[in-house]
Structure formats: C-alpha cells, structure tokens
A and B are shown apart, each in its own frame.
Chain A
Amino acid sequence: MKRFVRQGFVSGLALSAALIAGAAWAKDDITIAMQLEPPHLDPTSAAAQAIDSVVYVNIFEGLTRFMGDGSIVPALAESWEISEDGTVYTFKLHEGVTFHDGSAMDAEDVKFSLDRARAEDSANAQKALFAGIDSVDVVDPLTVKVTLTEPNGNFLFNMAWGDAVIVAPESIENIKTTPVGTGPYTLGEWVQGDKIVLNRNPGYWGAEPALAQATFKFISDPTAAFAAMMAEDVDVFTGFPAPENLPQFEADPRFQVLVGSTEGETILSTNNKQPPFDNIKVRQAMAHAIDRQAIIDGAMFGYGTPIGTHFAPHNPAYVDLTGNSAYDPDKAKALLAEAGFPDGFETTLHLPPPSYARRGGEIIAAQLAAVGIKAEITNVEWAQWLETVFKGKNFGLTIVSHTEPMDIGIYARPEYYFQYDNPAFQELMTTLNSTTDPDKRTELMQQAQRIISEDYVNGYLFQLAALSVAKAGVQGLWANAPTAATDLSAISWSE
C-alpha cells in the first residue's frame, strides 16, 4: 500500500495507483528499458539491433535460434538432415505452428522467407547470410529442402539470426508496423517514442511463457536511465548505459547487476592502406603503445575483457593473444624509429557516439601521444561515421565495436573499410566456410585469429561487456548477449 499512499495525494490518481500496485503484486508483467527505440519492427530489413532486442524469439522465430549461452538450437525446424557432401539441408518443421493471425506456418512460408531475403531487390541488411543458397524447395507442408552452392559450416548459425526469421506472405506488407510472427508474444501496442507492449500469445505452439505482458521503454539518456531504475519505474534495464553507477546498484538489495559478454570486439580500427599504417612496424608500434587495462578502467569503469585478436573470449575456439601486443611504450618507440618515424607522426581519430569510443578515444590519444603519435580527435555521429569512415575510407584511426557474432570473416574482404588485404587469410576463410567438421573448424578459426593478431591489422582493445540492471526478483535474464535479444520466455519473477 506504500505506493498507494504516496500517490494518493493527487486524488484522481488513487484508482490508477491501486491498479498499478495490484498488477505489481501479481508479477506476471514486466517493464524492460533499453537505450534505443527500434525504427520499425521488421528484423529482416534493417540493421538496427533495437529491432531484434524487441522482436527476436518473442514475435518472430527462425528455423534455428540462439540460446543465452550462444548455442544454436532448433526452433521452428524440429530437426534436420544434412547430405553427405554438406550441400543439402532438409528441415522437418514443427507441426501445428500458426502465425499470430491464425494462419498455419508451413514449408511455403519458409521458402517465401528465404527467397525474399536473398532476392535481387531484397532489403535484408545481412544478405550475405543467404548468399550460398542455391534453391529452396517445398517437399511437403512440413518439409523444406535447402540446397547450397557449396558446403557451409555456418549455415545453421546463419539461420538463427534475426535477419533470417520466418515471415508470412499474407502479412508482409505491413510487417514494419504490424509484425505477424509465430512467436510466444504478439504486438499489443506501440506508442512511438515511448513504449512497445507485447502480450502473451495464447495460441503459441511451444511452452507457455510465465510473463503475460512485457512493456519495452526507451530511455536514451544515461542519467535518466539511472533515475528510472532507482525510482523503480522500470524492472529491468538491458544495455545499461552508465557503468559508473553500477556499484551503487550492486550495493542496493533492491537490485541485481548482471555483467556478461557481448559479441562486440572493440577495436582501434586502422586504415591499412593509408600510409604510414601500411607499414606493419607502425601498426605493431601502436599495439604496444596501448594500455588496454587503462582503457577498460578509464572508459568502461573496469567492465570489459581484454582481447588480442578479433574473436569473442567466451567462444570455445578463442585464443588469448593479448601477449602479442603487451603494453610496452619503449618497444613502441623503438619500432617507430625502425619504421622511419623516430619523432612519431600525425593522424586522425574518428570517434562515433558510444561512450566506449568517446571516452576510450581520449585515453588512446593520450597513450599514442606518449610515444609521439599525435591523433587528432574528430567526434562524429553514426550517419557521418558510415559516410566518411566506413564508406569513404577517409580516416586514419577510429574506434568501433564490431557487434556481429563470429565476424572474423570481415578480414577476408579487402574492400572492407580497414582495407586488410591478405590472400593467405582470404583462402583460410574460404576453407573455413566449406568445412563442417567441428574440430577442423576450431583449428582453422584459431589459425585465423593468430594471423590477424600477428599482422597487427587493428588495435585489439576489449570485448564489450553486457551490462544489465534488474530488480532483485527478476530471474532468467540473459547475462550474455550472443545476439541482440530479450528472451521474454525465459524471464519470470521469483516468489
């Protein structure tokens, strides 16, 4: 009744306050806050992670799906068979699955979804996931056969992405505002700029989730995020933007703090084609000039795992290569002198908006200055970053977190913005893609990690931490973020 009393002074509010209090006690609803609002709700036609954070495995499901520990398990596909040569996947679909509009989900819908994603005019932001598909054939209503042009060890992983969810041709036209999927939740209400409400889907084919309703709120300002959590306006904040406030939540018995790992390798991206960065000695010198722990402590308040290559530390195939670029300013100076820059040089450092870049950039610039490299800082918005750095390749250095899962393959694309061109690495990736044997794959992935680490392609800083704050009674939240998602089915209230 405490809540009732304190709001009761505004007489008109008494009733609504009682309703709020009542609902809180029943504990089958939850309010989850995050920083960014999805621009729309179609995960198959935009790169915005905020879309997946709301709809992935809640509204939409794919053939396979990510679990919180990063593993890939069956979703709409109950099982599958892979042909001897690894090019034909035959998926057996779950029986009795319906879309939110009541229509049945069958092999035709799978064919439609995959064909739409790989079509010429497709707006899919991750079209490369579908590039190896040669044809999709309906065998019977519950069996679909996907033929690949060549074996692809990543295929089941690719099908788990939010960009590969199954959609229906009948509801595709308005998918951006009225998403119709097969998931355990349906879209209740979207007040743009404010909140999205999801309701439990009574006709769901799988197990019934504990929460009847979930409200997503969007709070971009870090101070407001802190206040909303402290005032208990929201129950959970995923991707909490103010790491400096976490100790305060940790000390407060009303809350719990979850610190996990993301797929975000945060790197000092280096333009490998632009002199003097085309000289490996210069890149090596920079790597030794950087004190990772100082950046993690100073910019992230201690949250983050140091990395020595472009690979997630929580992945079983990860190799710790931080030793290749241990902090050693004297060695950095010697290497610079060897490369012909005894007095250092000047370059640019473009910093996108996230605090890992803005705060980390200041520290890195100071560390580089200590060995004679003057990096002129330019703060940019994302749109500007995409235009000048990513597309225009008009930069020396930049800091960015590469959040796509398992994205070491970008080093095999010489036109990619950091412009690393190593035929041996490209060949290795081709081999990796066509290898399905798990042990062999691990070996190849470790080899790949070593090559880019020893080539000092980029400055490898740290793995971005997944930081969430929640009320003490919330259980089942993903601590790690193997993909952008809020798996509502796993969440419940204790007591």
Chain B
Amino acid sequence: MLRYSLKRAFSLAISLAVASLVIFAVIEIAPGDPASFMLGVNAQPDTLAALRTELGLDQSKAERYISWITGMLRGDFGTSYTYRTPVSQMIADRMWVSLPLALYALALSTAIAFPAGIYAASRRGKVGDLTVMSATQLGVAIPNFWFAMMLVLVFAINLRWFNAGGFAGWDKGLAAGLHSLTLPAIALALPQAAILARVMRSALLDILGEDFMRTARAKGLSRRQALWRHGLRNALIPVLTIIGLQFSFLLAGSIIIEQVFYLPGLGRLVFQAISARDLIVVESVVMLLVFAVITVNFLVDLAYAAVDPRLRSRT
C-alpha cells in the first residue's frame, strides 16, 4: 500500500510541475496587456509604463515564472493586478462558495444516481428500468445552463421559492446559504446524476453476470442479498472513477452556472480575470484547480486500492 501511494504521489508531483509550465505559457502567450486594459484608450505612454513597472510586468517571462512558482511554494499567490488584493485571499473567499456548491451538487447527484442505478439494474429490461434509462438519457442530453434557466423561470420567477441568483452569504446562516445554492446545485447535479446512474446500472449488470454472483446465489442468497453483499462493492470501482471526475468537473466547471446564477465563486473569478487579463489571478486559480483535480484523482486511486485489494499488490 505504501509503495503504491508513493508511486502515485510522485506522478502527482510531476503532473503539477508540467501543468504549471503549460498554464504559464498559454496564459502569457495570449495577446493582451493587463496595463492597457486597466487604463483604457486614453492612457498616455508614460502612465502605461509606470503601471507596468508597478505590476512587475517589465520583468522577463522567465523571472516572472520563477517568482510565481517560488511564491506559490511558500503559499504566496501574488497580488491581483486589477483588484490589488492578495490572490490567496480572493481564492479563499470564493472557495467558500465554489466548494460547498460542488459538494452540494455531488451529494445530490450521488443521492439520486445510486438508488436510480441500483433500481434500474435490479429491474433489468422491465418498465422501471426503461423509465429510469429514458430519464437519464434526457438528463445527459440537456445542457446544464439551459436547465438552469428553466429552473430560474419556474422556481424563481413563477413560484418565487428561490432568488433568481446571487449568494446570501454564510453569515446569514447555513440555511440561507444552502437555500441560495440549491438551484445552482440542482442544475449542476442532474446531468451528472444521469451519467452516474447509467454507470452504476451497467457496472452492476456486469457484476451480476460474474461467476461469483452465481456462486453467491447457489449458496442460497436471494437475488437482492447477493446484489447488496457482493455486487455493490465490486461495482463501486467504475462508479468511484466517475465520482472523482465529476467532483473535479463540478469544482472547475461551474463557470457557466456561476454566471447564470451570478454567484461569487471561483468560476466567476476566473471569467472576470481572463477578460481583464489579470494574468496572475488566472494562473493561480487555474493552477489551484489543476491541483484539486490531480489530488482528487490521487485520492480516487487510493480509494480503488481500499475497495479492491488486488490493486495494492499489483504495484
């Protein structure tokens, strides 16, 4: 187990190093000067030069890469060009929206997908299965931003159960915070739940055909008992993979949903920073998201090993 973990950790470090280079290169190559953006069309050359010096943009790209990386290793993400506040503080503030939103959506998605997938697998080929499968087909096909708009139309504009967007703030209490995250979480969760339910179903069906399942039935277990005791645990591997991917997606990929619901999260921060060419913010947030994605995958790898002992020896 230890060797397996170390090996995984090493590949994690390599991935991060490569990612940092790619992120920096891509963002720096994109045309657009942060100083010109901030000062607009009537800026005079000496004003621009003064601002560029102030922001450290007059240093070479190599120097800036090194100071960015060494800063990050020390936990210093730099200072935003436009907002003039430390990037780490901005990320921390936004994280309080994005992370709960991703977890909320993941919880919803799992809560819907597990029963739906298990139910469909246990009723294979019957009406129940067909209903669940067509519903998930629809769920996969619907783009989440469109679904989000429909939710707003029904629950915010017509029924008035929720606000059309915005975040109440955790200082107003847990209930108020969750209340304002509910529609976005549903919009994010349903398409994910549809995918997850399908994966759950097919993983279970694969398992049901295995020899050990027949043995379990032969030993006297009912179909349901066999499914719960032996089937589920074995079906979890592909499901965990998808959950891992989905969490990364939910954290990094909520940019559009955060726009639709104007939530002050990480996605919105990146969106604003890209258009303002606030390079340091974009670089740091993207790096952080990469870190999150890679770490989640690392944890999923470890979870495999926990679920499936065969992986531990196969190092």
Chain A interfacial positions (CB closer than 8 Å to B): 3, 6-7, 9-13, 16, 37, 39-40, 46-48, 120-128, 176-177, 191-195, 217-221, 223-224, 227-228, 230-231, 233, 353, 381-384, 386-388, 390-391, 404
Contacts and interface: CB of A to CB of B under 8 A. Distances in A.
B269 A193 contact: yes
A388 B265 CA distance: 31
Interface stretch (B1-9, B122-130, B254-262): B254-262
B201 interface: no
B175 interface: yes
B39 to A, nearest CB: 5
Nearest to A194: B264
Interface of B: 30-34, 36-44, 46-47, 50-51, 54, 82-85, 90, 93-94, 149, 152-153, 156-157, 159-161, 163-167, 169, 172-176, 179, 259-265, 268-269, 272, 274-277
B41 A386 contact: yes
A231 B152 contact: yes
A192 B250 CA distance: 22
A123 B269 contact: no
Contact of B275 (A13, A40, A382): A382
A194 B94 CA distance: 10
Contacts of B157: 227, 230-231
A12 B38 contact: no
Given A193-B93, A227-B164, A383-B275, 11 more contacts: A7-B161, A16-B172, A16-B173, A124-B47, A220-B259, A221-B260, A224-B152, A227-B156, A381-B275, A383-B277, A387-B32
Contact of B43 (A47, A387, A404): A47
Contact of A12 (B54, B156, B173): B173
B131 to A, nearest CB: 29
B47 A193 contact: no
Contacts of A37: 272
A125 B40 contact: yes
Given A123-B50, A192-B85, A231 B156 contact: yes
Contacts of B268: 193
Contacts of A221: 259-260, 262
A122 B49 CA distance: 10
A24 B221 CA distance: 63
Contacts of B34: 383
A428 to B, nearest CB: 20
Contact of B153 (A121, A125, A176, A227): A227
B47 A123 contact: yes
A233 B159 CA distance: 13
27 contacts: A6-B161, A37-B272, A46-B40, A47-B38, A47-B41, A47-B42, A120-B46, A123-B54, A128-B42, A192-B90, A192-B264, A193-B93, A193-B264, A193-B268, A195-B166, A217-B166, A221-B260, A224-B152, A224-B261, A231-B152, A231-B157, A233-B165, A383-B36, A383-B37, A386-B37, A386-B41, A387-B32
Contact of B160 (A124, A231, A386, A390): A231
A191 B265 CA distance: 11
A39 B260 contact: no
**Lowest 7 A-B CB distances belong to which pairs?**
A47-B40, A383-B32, A12-B175, A193-B264, A39-B82, A194-B264, A231-B164
Contact of B176 (A9, A13, A125, A220): A13
Contact of B85 (A9, A46, A128, A177): A177
B281 to A, nearest CB: 11
A40 B276 contact: no
A390 B263 CA distance: 33
Contacts of A223: 149, 260
A40 B39 contact: no
B176 A224 contact: no
A10 B84 contact: no
Contacts of A12: 173-176
B32 A122 contact: no
B40 A227 contact: no
B96 to A, nearest CB: 11
A228 B165 contact: yes
B82 A10 contact: no
A176 B274 CA distance: 20
A192 B90 CA distance: 8
Contacts of B174: 12
Contacts of A390: 36, 41
B37 A382 contact: yes
A23 to B, nearest CB: 14
B32 A220 contact: no
Contacts of A383: 31-34, 36-37, 275-277
A182 B262 CA distance: 32
A227 B269 contact: no
Nearest to B159: A6
